[in-house]
């Protein structure tokens, strides 16, 4: 099950998000034959994209570029 939960510690001025993705998302990356380093990078980028999209206040799209 995929889920995203926001949290806030008002007294400490800390906020964040907790993301849980299903094993299916991980299997999609693993089935491509990428090295472990590339699999890890794609996994982190997927998480980043999900968190960024979740915070968008309007309909749009996200494009990421790595160099």
Q: What's the pTM value of the predicted model, to 2 decimals?
A: 0.63
pLDDT score of 31: 83
4: tokens are 């995203």
Separation between Cα atoms, residue 39 and residue 34, nearest integer Å: 6
Which pLDDT score, from 0 to 100, does residue 67 have? Answer: 73
| Per-residue pLDDT in tens (0 to 9) along the chain, 67 residues | 678 888 899 999 888 888 887 777 778 788 888 898 988 888 888 888 888 877 777 777 777 777 7
Contact 14, 1 (CB under 8 A): no
Nearest to 61, CA basis, from 52, 25, 13, 37:
52
Residue among 38, 46, 42, 40 nearest 21 (CA) = 46
Residue 59 in tokens: 């309909």
Spell out the domain ranges in the chain.
Answer: 3-55
């Amino acid at each position: 099950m995929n889920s995203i939960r926001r949290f806030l510690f008002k007294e400490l001025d800390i906020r964040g998000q907790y993301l849980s993705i299903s094993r299916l998302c991980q299997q999609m990356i693993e089935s491509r034959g990428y090295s472990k380093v590339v699999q890890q990078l794609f996994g982190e980028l997927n998480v980043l994209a999900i968190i960024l999209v979740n915070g968008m206040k309007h309909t749009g799209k996200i494009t990421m570029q790595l160099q």
